[in-house]
Structure 1
Amino acid sequence: MRTALTTAVVAGLGVVALTGGSAGPVPGDRSRGHDRVITFDVQFSGFFLLDFSATGVREVTAIDDPALSPSRGDQIVFEDTLLRNGEPVGAGGGTCTVTSVAPTDPPINLSCQVSYQLSDGQVVAQGRASNAPVKTLAIVGGTGRYVGASGELELTELGTAENTGTLVLRLERT
């Protein structure tokens, strides 16, 4: 069970990784009714979890740490790089709190708050996620060009050794 949970935590912790390509519609996307669709490639940061246990708080910086045992209240903290054509164009950071660990698939549920700094402002998103490879969060606001932003963010973890993914922002008309 511990190995399955460790694998689930690894998959679930990429919630913040953003991967992107170009601005504009993505083939097969659900952007109808959306004002703008923006995609990024993401380079995820290294693993970092605050493990709150009965014996105290411990930093976990390796996903293969044999003592890793996720539980409700643990905090995942991240700061990831947004890329376009392999070049950094922004950053995303935030926290996800483990809200439950259950013998189901997916076994880990999270509540996440993230913000993305782009060249023309910030986009803020929040919502529930799990260790599934595709995560959808609500865009709840922004700054600069994104003042009053709403819509949804879809993060897809690629599961590669390079620790990368894709991020699609579907911004609603206001």
Structure 2
Amino acid sequence: MRPFKAVGLKAVGLKAVGLGTAVALAVLLGGGPATAAAADHHGEAVFTLVSQATGETVVDLDGNGFSPGDYVVFTDDLFRDGVRVGSDAGSCTLIDVADGGTSLCVVTVHLERGDLTAQALTRGILAGGPDSFVAAITGGTGAFVDAGGEVIGTRVGLSSAELEFHVSR
């Protein structure tokens, strides 16, 4: 979900640490129907949030450059109209390095009324990550039990993305 090739990335032994790198698939979910501004379209809640990176660690397991099994873990704050409405945490594991890299990303979003989870297969992760993505909402807790749908993300800066949620139950 986040690119492995990151701005400001610094190798530290087996780890590489970088803050404020491009947000791509790594930031999937946000403050859902828990807010009054969520619209109802044919039985699904549709809403938009903005993610802002708060931390990440990239791990190069063998210390010889990126290879399958390397991963990034990350956290973000989530905002609606400039107000923090939640946070997320997730990881992306590098699956293949060919053609700009492919990773499997999993994210959990924590909101006032419950959590949402999402995942996606991301391509181009070693080449700066995609400018946009679609991830599947795979479930939730609290008000989001039995949630499904998708998140459409668009990068809007080096460390942020606009996330449009389509949550169904």
TM-score category of the 2 structures, normalised to the smaller one: 0.7 to 0.9
- What SS does structure 2 have at the residue aligned with 1:48? strand
Matched, 1:136 2:134: yes
CA displacement at 1:34 relative to structure 2 = 5.0
Paired AA for residue 145 in structure 1: A
Residue segments in structure 2 that go unaligned for 5+ positions in a row: 10-20, 124-128
Alignment correspondent of 1:50: 59
**TM norm structure 2:** 0.73
Matched, 1:118 2:127: no
Paired AA for residue 107 in structure 2: V
Q: CA separation of 1:132/1:99 partners in 2, compared to 1, >3 Å: closer, same or farther?
A: same
Matched, 1:6 2:2: no
Alignment correspondent of 1:58: none
1:1-174 pair list within 5 angstroms? 6=5, 11=22, 14-17=24-27, 23-24=37-38, 33=42, 35-53=44-62, 69-102=65-98, 104=99, 107-130=100-123, 131-158=129-156, 160-161=157-158, 163-172=159-168, 174=169
- Give the ranges of 4+ consecutive aligned residues of structure 1 lying more than 6 Å apart after TM superposition: 19-22
Superposed CA deviations along residues 97-146 of structure 1, whole A, max 9, x for unmatched, are 011111x3xx1211011110111111111121122111211111101111
Paired AA for residue 81 in structure 1: D
- What SS does structure 2 have at the residue aligned with 1:52? coil
CA displacement at 1:7 relative to structure 2 = 6.2
Distance 2:5 2:167 in 1: 34
Distance 2:5 2:118 in 1: 26
Q: CA separation of 1:138/1:144 partners in 2, compared to 1, >3 Å: closer, same or farther?
A: same
Identity of aligned residues (%): 30
Please identify which structure carries the higher strand content: 2
Give 1 or 2 for the bigger CA radius of gyration. Answer: 1
Say what the alpha-carbon RMSD is for the aligned residues: 2.9
CA displacement at 1:46 relative to structure 2 = 3.5
Residue segments in structure 1 that go unaligned for 5+ positions in a row: 26-30, 56-66
CA displacement at 1:32 relative to structure 2 = 5.8
**TM norm structure 1:** 0.71
Alignment correspondent of 1:59: none
Equivalences, count: 145
